[in-house]
Structure formats: structure tokens, C-alpha cells
Amino acid sequence: MRTASIHRTTHETDITAALTLDGDGTSTIATGIGFFDHMLELFTRHGLFTLSLHCTGDVRVDDHHTIEDVGIVLGQAFAQALGDKAGIARYGHAYVPMDETLARCVIDLSGRTAVVFRAEFTRETVGGMSTEMVEHFFRSFGEQLKANIHLETLYGANAHHISEALFKSCARALRTAAAIDPRVIGVPSTKGSL
């Protein structure tokens, strides 16, 4: 089983997370930000991960610290669960429609961080979550995972739909990239390491 457990405490947040990479899509998530919980729940469901995550954060200030720190913890959890990455497919991509919106995510679990994010939102918040924090979450996540993540909305109008399509496409691309391919011997790199 490829699993991880992380506990991270700062003056701004206290987060515990338990992840099973080869899971069943179930989750128990509580961050204090309802829309963010919804995004993480559907991320888990469409990635077929199993995730338990609890965050107590300073949401009385705003949503920034909670979302950033959850991104950090989730990136660390996925990196831990992937281990040495022996046998993984390494690359993954997914297109996900959400009504009028179409999003695309392409991932390389390369051990090098590069996050390209291209999406424009029609409003500043959705359900108490700042739309600018969608990009910030994925940057925090990608930095800790040490992955190339290219994530964009090809078109769309509704901010809820845009957010949802981005999270779902990332989950499905990550699921593909992290999958074990029985034909891959060792690490999928000519360098011998990722």
C-alpha cells in the first residue's frame, strides 16, 4: 500500500492528513472553508485516492494560510506515498468538462517543480474561497510534490465550474501519472532517478 501520514503545525494552521494513493475515492475533509472542502472531496473522488484531512486554521483572518498550508501538506503526502516512484507511469493528462467549462491538466512526476496555471475567473470568491487561491493551492501542492503541473481552462464562464474542472482534471491526471505500470522496470527515467 502506498500511504502517507503528515502532521504539520504552524502559528497559522494545524493540519493532519492521511493518504492512500491506491484508494477508493472516499474522504473525510474539514478545513473550515466549505467550498475548498468540496474541491478536495471531488479531487479525492476523481483521483480514486483515500484521504482524511483536518485543518484548524486562522480563517478569521482569511482563507490564505489554510489553503496554502493544505497544499503544502497534500504535496508532501503524495510525495511520501509515491516513495522512490519505481514502476510509475510518470506522465498523466486529463481533459475535464464541467458544463460550459473545459479544463486540461498535464503532469510529469519528474522530481522537478514547474507549475503553469492559466485560468481566469469571473468573480473574486466562490463559497467563501478566494478564486486567486485556486492557483496558489496548486503552486503550493506542486512545489512539495516536485512535479511539473500544467493546468489551464481552455474556456469557461462560471467560477464554480472553472474551479471544479481544474481540480477534477488535476486529480485524473495525477491518478494516471501515479499508476503502477507493470512494464516499467525501476524508475521511468534514463537518469535512473526522479
Would you list the DSSP string of 138-158? Answer: HHHHHHHHT-EEEEEEEE---
Give the Å distances, CA to CA, from 40 to 16, 103, 184.
14, 17, 30
pLDDT at 104 over 80: yes
Count of Cβ atoms closer than 10 Å to residue 190 Cβ: 5
> Given pLDDT bands bounded at 50, 70 and 90, which one contains residue 190?
confident
Query: DSSP 3-state assignment of 186?
Result: coil
The whole-model pTM stands at 0.96
> pLDDT tens, 122-146?
999 999 999 999 999 999 999 999 9
Cell matching residue 175:
491518478
* 3-178 CATH choice from 3.40.190.10, 3.40.50.1370, 3.30.230.40, 1.10.10.60: 3.30.230.40
Reported in sequence order, the residue ranges of the chain that DSSP labels E, i.e. its strands, are 3-9, 13-20, 27-30, 50-57, 91-98, 101-108, 114-118, 125-126, 129-130, 148-155
CB 22, CB 44: distance < 8 Å: no
